[in-house]
Amino acid sequence: MFCFQCEQTAGGKGCTKVGVCGKDASVAQKQDELTCALIELARAADGKSPGPEADKLMMEGLFATVTNVNFDPNRIQELIELVKTEKEKLGGAEDFPQDKLWDDDVNARSLRSTLLFGMRGMAAYAWHAHILGKEDKDIINWFYKGMKAIGEDHSTDEALNLLMEFGNVNLQCMALLDEANTSAFGHPVPTTVPMKVEKGPFIIITGHDLLDLKQLLEQTEGKGINIYTHGEMLPAHGYPELKKYPHLKGNFGTAWQNQQREFDGVPAPILFTTNCLMPPKASYADRVFTTGVVGYPQTQHISEGKNGIKDFSPVINKALELGGYPEDKIFTGINGGTEVMTGFARNAVLGVADKVIEAVKAGDIKHIFLVGGCDGARPGRNYYTEFVKKTPKDSVVLTLACGKYRFNDLDLGKIGGLPRIMDMGQCNDAYSAIVVATELAKAFNCSVNDLPLTLVLSWYEQKAVCILLTLLALNIKNIYLGPTLPAFLSQDVLNVLVEKFNITQISTPDEDLKKILG
């Protein structure tokens, strides 16, 4: 096997025997086969959408190969068969040999992989929008254009242009998802979320799929079962159409990499709607349920029924059988806090934009940091906790995605009535941050790069890759990236990105803060 798509890749180079994520060689092999089948489908379709069946497979197939999504070789095999059938319907196409996927000149491989991983990330966003009934032909067509391009040879300039074009399409895709979420569930409002678990039966729901949560809330109404979010599901508490359910009680645990410890011994089922799933330990595997694109051998999977409704009865019955805690149980975040806040998406932040602009003009807010992105297991990720702790009192920290669990339970006080840490949502909500930055730039009549704003990003999986490409396509410069740089960026490709966009790898919080504020 060969895989180097995520931040924890073995030795910072590539997983070759088994994935650090737990993906074994047979699953890696199937995922490569699926990727090649999708390239062939894009070829057969001549680089544009041939119809809804193929479109759905394109999104689902790419999403299934995102890190920590699907470890089930049978489910990947099913997808391969379906993709091949669609390809044949279109008259077939020349095979794309699997050994060409990773084996090439190091720069060509780097550019091809960057596009592929970005597209895997965008597929997740497009999929979430799709299940909420939102699609955009330009975005769908680009999946075929991009996958076809991955199967071709390109000069470095051509490949870089493709990456920038992709970044712009991904911006459109993030806007589409934002519209899908806000039209289905309303605009998030600032909300305090407790980390206490009340006594009695409960269900933990994790991942990014808000529609799954909505259906679960409906199906558990009046049954005496409480629902707790975990990981990237936390921002759900801010949405009016989800927070209206009184049994959506709070948030359980922290970011994905702590799940094997946090889920051990919990008297409740856990429903995974998307990444990040780690191989479940025997001590709790019988309580793990997957749905959507997620899969793991031998865990129970809840499929979609007629009219898009999923029947969560097996999860509900498990919750009743396990019964939950006999008494209320207090949990804390990693810094000891007992509650966290969320719901500062674009509408909420722009609603107080006047205050922010005034505070910046008056010098009360001297700097805005966006400290966001994925969490992960690497010890170096403490950087983000220390960085946020050390940000000066006259600065604001916007955050998003699961990396925030490193600091979202800290009380850093307020500025002008606003909390100094504001959670804008999931990684899926990076669009909110882009809108806020763009609006601030307009208000100050300058470019985003001239704002007193610094992006300090943490990456792990491929959604972070597509977001990064969008930020670069928007010509956003001086991004701090960590904890390590992607193994799939060759030295030459990295040099180009550093030269054009001044991407900097994080060093220490003190040094970086000095550079940023000095």
Nearest distance in Å: CB 428, ligand SF3: 7
Q: Is 108 in the site for ligand SF4 (CB under 6 A)?
A: no
DSSP string, 82-125: HHHHHHHHTT------GGGTT-S-HHHHHHHHHHHHHHHHHHHH
Residues 46-85 that bind ligand SF4 (CB under 6 A): 67
Q: Which is nearer to ligand SF3, 226 or 257 (CB)?
A: 257
- Work out which of 82, 129, 216, 427 binds ligand SF3, going by CB under 6 A: 427
Contacts of 491 (CB under 8 A, 6+ apart): none
Q: Which does 256 bind (CB under 5 to 8 A by kind): ligand SF4, ligand SF3, none?
A: ligand SF3
CA angle in degrees (0–180, nearest 5) for 71-73-77: 130
Q: Which is nearer to ligand SF4, 252 or 459 (CB)?
A: 459
Residue 203: strand pairing partners: 227
Contacts of 378 (CB under 8 A, 6+ apart): 7, 8, 483, 484
- What whole-number distance in Å separates Cα of residue 388 and Cα of residue 412? 9
Check the annotation: does 276 bind a ligand.
yes
Q: Which stretch binds ligand SF3 (CB under 6 A): 234-242, 264-272, 412-420, 456-464?
A: 456-464
Check the annotation: does 466 bind a ligand.
no
- Work out which of 11, 13, 17, 19 binds ligand SF4, going by CB under 6 A: 19
Q: Is 9 in the site for ligand SF4 (CB under 6 A)?
A: yes
**Per-residue CA distances from 503 to 34, 62, 167, 439, 477 (Å):** 32, 27, 16, 23, 7
Nearest distance in Å: CB 86, ligand SF3: 29
- Work out which of 204, 276, 348, 487 binds ligand SF3, going by CB under 6 A: 276
- Work out which of 461, 466, 487, 490 binds ligand SF3, going by CB under 6 A: 461
CA angle in degrees (0–180, nearest 5) for 420-423-428: 155
Q: Which does 20 bind (CB under 5 to 8 A by kind): ligand SF3, ligand SF4, none?
A: ligand SF4
Distance of CA 438 to the CA centre of its chain: 22
Q: Is 252 in the site for ligand SF3 (CB under 6 A)?
A: no
The dihedral built from the CA positions of residue 428, 272, 191 and 461, taken in this order, carries a sign that is negative
How many CB atoms are located within 10 Å of the residue 110 CB?
23
Q: Which does 252 bind (CB under 5 to 8 A by kind): ligand SF3, ligand SF4, none?
A: none
Check the annotation: does 446 bind a ligand.
no
Residues 22-51 that bind ligand SF4 (CB under 6 A): 23
| Beta-sheet pairing, 191-194 with 339-342 | antiparallel
Two tokens at 176? 């589409």
Q: Are the CB atoms for 114 and 488 separated by under 8 Å?
A: yes
Q: Are the CB atoms for 459 and 465 separated by under 8 Å?
A: yes
* CB closest to ligand SF4, residue no: 19
Which one-letter amino acid corresponds to residue 339? E
Q: What is the DSSP letter of 295?
A: B
Nearest distance in Å: CB 417, ligand SF3: 29
Peptide bond into 392 cis (omega under 30): no
If we measure between CA atoms, which residue out of 482, 342, 331 comes closest to residue 404?
A: 342
Give the per-residue contact string, 371-400, with ligand SF3 (x = CB under 6 A; - = no).
Answer: ---xx-------------------------
Nearest distance in Å: CB 27, ligand SF3: 18
- Work out which of 8, 254, 428, 470 binds ligand SF4, going by CB under 6 A: 8
Residues 473-512 that bind ligand SF3 (CB under 6 A): none
Q: Are the CB atoms for 169 and 142 separated by under 8 Å?
A: yes
Check the annotation: does 6 bind a ligand.
yes
Identify the residue whose tokens are 């790069």: 449
Check the annotation: does 427 bind a ligand.
yes
Nearest distance in Å: CB 66, ligand SF4: 8
Identify the residue whose tokens are 């979320």: 193
Q: Which is nearer to ligand SF4, 38 or 276 (CB)?
A: 276
Residue 480: strand pairing partners: 456, 504
Nearest distance in Å: CB 24, ligand SF4: 9
Which one-letter amino acid corresponds to residue 60? E
Two tokens at 506? 């994080």
Q: Which is nearer to ligand SF3, 124 or 360 (CB)?
A: 124
Q: Is 96 in the site for ligand SF3 (CB under 6 A)?
A: no
Q: Which is nearer to ligand SF3, 256 or 431 (CB)?
A: 256
- What whole-number distance in Å separates Cα of residue 56 and Cα of residue 146? 16
Residues 118-157 that bind ligand SF3 (CB under 6 A): none
Q: Which is nearer to ligand SF3, 191 or 254 (CB)?
A: 254
Q: What is the contact surface with ligand SF3 in residues (CB under 6 A)? A: 68, 208, 231-232, 256, 275-276, 374-375, 401-402, 426-427, 460-461, 463-464
Q: What is the contact surface with ligand SF4 in residues (CB under 6 A)? A: 3-6, 8-9, 15, 19-21, 23, 67
Residue ranges for the binding site for hybrid [4Fe-2O-2S] cluster?
208, 232, 276, 374, 402, 427, 461, 463
